[in-house]
Structure 1
């Protein structure tokens, strides 16, 4: 029996078909808080097929061993070998077990994913299988390609929806404070549209439309504690709920034990809690939005010094530059292995130019944040009220 799910966003759709219900169930759970996920229907967009037994895959014989594949990339921290054939077909396989095999046929807009052997049932029914995780990731990439073709671009930005229904964007490099800004406002009553990235497009009325980019939130332990979420996360994990697969075991152990001191790797990278989109709602009772129109832009910066006082900054420049766009090249976590965007992973030049111009025409404000959550909340709440009132 085949199980079917259609995922839709921005008037585009991707259909998932699988011989195991755990795949479509997880995709419905993963996308359902951000995009529309409808079981049992076939959309008109690209098709992702998934089987947990390579022997059942019609394309298994066409996916050679790694030695027969010409290129290699790291996609979501996983090494994948792949080849683009003269007819446009791309075959690929992972280099870690259990091996996943891929074949993308552009003429049919079809991606087939097969596990190397039947996946053993897991005792953690809440955790996606390796196959289910791959399906959600590449379904998202197929949606990205369609939205880019329709003139959307993907921004490094968080977004929260204000009381008047418009959105406040927070832009900046990794570590600037986008997630802190979004989750602080969401915990204060705003709806969360995006914690790290979102789609943007200028509409015919001259407004900037926004759509979510479904992704897990990486939350520092200090922020998690400031939001009063540590005990909730620890209770769920302590009761046996599975952690996100990219969450470090030390973080899981710390949350269960109620330890909140920040931890870092030997190379200095902060270890964070990784929370799936649906857990943001189920664990922390956040309201999540599926679309909005941008009202204003914040440019946050977290001051690491002890005792730093959050404040509106008038010294920092507020011009928005092309660095705000998410690309799909080798520098990103999700390179375009299958050539889905034809080299336009950051959006088409005209769309990028229109979005940059609009962002620079919106009200913009730089804000410095500290480690006093109540003070951060007060400053961000004041800015949100100001921008909502100015509409």
Structure 2
């Protein structure tokens, strides 16, 4: 049995599986942002347990049918319909995603999650996702709050936070800072908590989403294209259209019909080896920037910024992964702690940053922070 413990800032989760590929896939999603430790046996102190089981398609089909044949609820989970039912007497949640051939069972009192499927990569993806969710629930219980922010850490663990909604340039800002000498703490979301009067930050690990135009502006397009042509493994969230564009050598930005840019997806280790960035495991907020990208602006500029508000926080359970398994148990002090965190963030220097498509000019402007 292969046993792996994932841990950031105290909370942890243990993944066990007979397939070493399961743990390796989860580790690739979170390391080196989170600590990953290999164990020969399950450690009782290793936090909630997640067991990943790969079986034949014939073996998993009747289990899925059993879930569907009983009264259940349904919701979209990670982009696909999930059917689930709760047994309050047993303290269990059983769920199935027929399209992905997956079955889940969570025992709430034992804090034990079991994931069963017939395809190793599909089971590995689900395991990596749920292991992170098990850790996220513990972080929320310990008073951490998730910001819609990227972050880059400099000397003495001092971090610059880039806040804002999707597509404003958060990832761009922190990547530019990281390539200029800082360390990337988070590309899109980061956990924060007031600790001894300071705002401590730990990463929420994820693949980085980077547009083709930004890759070209960073001077990284050719390197990334070469790795793709060599057959490098990419995250499953990688849009096929982006892979096709890289294969053909196109650098033009790609968009969906709804106006969302399709972006290259990189594992954390690829951010290091392909983009030349170093990653950080923690930091302390020192400054805040609210970026926006204006393609037609003559030059990037810094200016005054708004206050940090509720909209800059991520609401637990309100995303692609609703809390169907009942993992979240927010403390009674959560609202007050979030208010205190918001107030503390607003005591820090804050800036707006109008960025252009010129990475060198943007980097020079951000160097003034």
- Quote how far apart the aligned CAs of 1:173 are: 0.6
Matches within 5 A, 1:232-243: 232-243=223-234
Tell me the distance in 2 between the aligned counterparts of 1:308 and 1:95: 52
Tell me the distance in 2 between the aligned counterparts of 1:54 and 1:351: 47
Tell me the distance in 2 between the aligned counterparts of 1:185 and 1:61: 49
State how many pairs are aligned: 363
- Quote how far apart the aligned CAs of 1:228 are: 1.1
- Quote how far apart the aligned CAs of 1:217 are: 1.0
- Quote how far apart the aligned CAs of 1:381 are: 1.2
- Tell me if structure 2 keeps the 8 A contact 1:33–1:290: yes
Aligned to 1:275: 266
Q: TM-score, normalised by structure 2?
A: 0.93
Aligned to 2:214: 223
In the alignment, is residue 94 of structure 1 matched against residue 97 of structure 2?
A: yes
Structure 2 residue runs without a partner (length 5+): none
- Tell me if structure 1 keeps the 8 A contact 2:9–2:202: yes
- Tell me if structure 1 keeps the 8 A contact 2:152–2:185: yes
- Tell me if structure 2 keeps the 8 A contact 1:243–1:252: no
| Runs ≥4 residues deviating over 6 A | 54-58
Aligned to 1:76: 78
In the alignment, is residue 334 of structure 1 matched against residue 326 of structure 2?
A: no
Aligned to 2:306: 318
Tell me the distance in 1 between the aligned counterparts of 2:326 and 2:368: 44
- Quote how far apart the aligned CAs of 1:285 are: 2.4
- Of 289, 310, 325, the residue aligned with 1:298 is 289
Tell me the distance in 2 between the aligned counterparts of 1:181 and 1:229: 16
Structure 1 residue runs without a partner (length 5+): 121-128, 384-391
Q: Secondary structure at the match of 2:238?
A: coil
In the alignment, is residue 360 of structure 1 matched against residue 346 of structure 2?
A: yes
Aligned to 2:187: 195
Tell me the distance in 1 between the aligned counterparts of 2:234 and 2:75: 26
In the alignment, is residue 155 of structure 1 matched against residue 161 of structure 2?
A: no
Q: TM-score, normalised by structure 1?
A: 0.88
- Tell me if structure 2 keeps the 8 A contact 1:66–1:95: no
Q: 1:63 to 1:351 in 2, by over 3 A?
A: farther
Tell me the distance in 2 between the aligned counterparts of 1:17 and 1:264: 39
- Tell me if structure 2 keeps the 8 A contact 1:63–1:103: no
Tell me the distance in 2 between the aligned counterparts of 1:148 and 1:336: 13
Aligned to 1:130: 122
Tell me the distance in 2 between the aligned counterparts of 1:359 and 1:165: 16
Tell me the distance in 2 between the aligned counterparts of 1:278 and 1:350: 37
RMSD: 2.2
- Tell me if structure 2 keeps the 8 A contact 1:51–1:57: no
- Quote how far apart the aligned CAs of 1:308 are: 3.8
Tell me the distance in 2 between the aligned counterparts of 1:158 and 1:337: 27
Q: 1:67 to 1:326 in 2, by over 3 A?
A: farther
Matches within 5 A, 1:57-68: 64-68=66-70
Q: 1:56 to 1:110 in 2, by over 3 A?
A: farther
- Quote how far apart the aligned CAs of 1:264 are: 1.2
Deviations 1:292-337 (A, max 9, x none): 1111111111114x244210123xx42110111112344x122112
- Tell me if structure 2 keeps the 8 A contact 1:63–1:92: no
Tell me the distance in 1 between the aligned counterparts of 2:219 and 2:70: 51
Q: 1:55 to 1:269 in 2, by over 3 A?
A: closer
Tell me the distance in 1 between the aligned counterparts of 2:225 and 2:309: 40
Aligned to 2:16: 17
Deviations 1:100-151 (A, max 9, x none): 1000011000000011x3x37xxxxxxxx11111111000000000011111
Deviations 1:144-202 (A, max 9, x none): 00011111111111000013321110100111111110111111111000000010011
- Tell me if structure 2 keeps the 8 A contact 1:94–1:100: yes
Aligned to 2:158: 166
Tell me the distance in 2 between the aligned counterparts of 1:329 and 1:164: 33
